[in-house]
Amino acid sequence: MGVKQELVKQGVIYKMKIKIGYAEGRNKPIINDICSNCGVVCTPDDECYNDYKTNKPLCDNCSVFDEEKDAYTLMKKYKVILADPPWRLVKGGKKKARPNTSGKPLDYPTMDLQEIKSLLSKFSKMGEENHVMFLWTIEKYLPQAEAIAKELGYKLHVRMVWNKVTGIPSAFTIRYGHEYMLYLYKIKLPKIALSERGKIHSVFTEQVKKHSQKPEISFNIIERLYPDCNKLELFARRKRVNWDAWGNEIDNDLEIGGVVQDETSNS
């Protein structure tokens, strides 16, 4: 099954309003024009479209196709993207290793690496040219998370570590009491707030709460580093003031289309 069908099955693509990319023949691309948002010169590979409101050219990166309006519009861009993907796991570790535990599935659907990469790739297009991504991962998926980030063009600034104080014992050996929040950036690391320079530690501690719930301190850190800018939380379970959020358990602030052209899809 292709990524697209799988996502439809999981209910990700339940709203088909906005499409990233373009539909052939709807709006004629303009070549050699300058994007009115980012200033890039449009080549045949990076075409411009006229924004339906302003009639000014927008490059492929700065525009979204709005099917309801049948036109291109300026896409909201984010300086900060925070993602906490549903890495594939079962609650309580491997059943084989611990036969007396239930090995229950998680309370939410999980995704394989291709699906996670494909979604992050779509959302990374909503980042400003220089943006940061904070990507949560766990010990098991650290190498894969870093590989995905690299393939999507992110550079690693630092691995931040959440000390969860307590943790689930894994196969009678080490009690995993940490998770990673990878601090990544595209092209050039955006400047942090002047007043926070050198003040934030790469390891932060907060007692674990509900399964998978990320600590309040991690949001505080991001808000201190980047106070006045657009922020987007992916795979969110709660809405946070001054953030846009997307996930399957909340009312979304933005939608990704079901007809996204996806290289990884078989369809």
Ligand X SMILES: C[S@@+](CC[C@H](N)C(=O)[O-])C[C@H]1O[C@@H](n2cnc3c(N)ncnc32)[C@H](O)[C@@H]1O
Residues making contact with ligand X (CB under 6 A): 7, 10, 12, 84, 86, 108-109, 111, 212-214, 235, 237, 247-249
Name every residue whose Cβ is closer than 8 Å to that of residue 88 and which is 6 or more positions away in sequence: 110, 111, 112
Residue nearest to ligand X (CB): 108
- Which of 189, 174, 111 shows the shortest CA–CA distance to 144? 111
Shortest gap between Cβ of 59 and ligand X (angstroms)?
Answer: 28
Q: Does 27 bind Zn ion (CB under 5 A)?
A: no
- Which of 255, 243, 265, 267 shows the shortest CA–CA distance to 117? 265
**d(C-alpha 49, C-alpha 21), whole Å:** 11
**Residue 228, token pair as written in the block:** 């006045």
From ligand X, Zn ion, none, which one binds at residue 249 (CB under 5 to 8 Å depending on kind)?
A: ligand X
Residue choice 1, 23, 31, 38 for contact with Zn ion (CB under 5 A) = 38
Nearer to ligand X, 58 or 149 (CB): 149
The amino acid occupying position 86 is P
Nearer to Zn ion, 37 or 137 (CB): 37
For residue 148, the number of C-alpha atoms closer than 13 Å in the C-beta half-sphere is 25
From Zn ion, ligand X, none, which one binds at residue 35 (CB under 5 to 8 Å depending on kind)?
A: Zn ion
From Zn ion, ligand X, none, which one binds at residue 235 (CB under 5 to 8 Å depending on kind)?
A: ligand X
The amino acid occupying position 2 is G
Shortest gap between Cβ of 185 and Zn ion (angstroms)?
Answer: 19
Nearer to ligand X, 52 or 108 (CB): 108
Shortest gap between Cβ of 139 and ligand X (angstroms)?
Answer: 15
Site string for Zn ion, 60-99 (x = CB under 5 A): --x-------------------------------------
DSSP, residue by residue, 144-203 = HHHHHHHHTTEEEEEEEEEEEEEEEE-TTS-EEEEEEEEEEEESSPPPPPGGGTTT--SE
Residue 20: count of CB within 10 angstroms of its CB: 21
Nearer to ligand X, 8 or 152 (CB): 8
Q: Does 16 bind Zn ion (CB under 5 A)?
A: no
Residues of the shown chain interacting with Zn ion in the complex, contacts defined by CB under 5 A? 35, 37-38, 59, 62
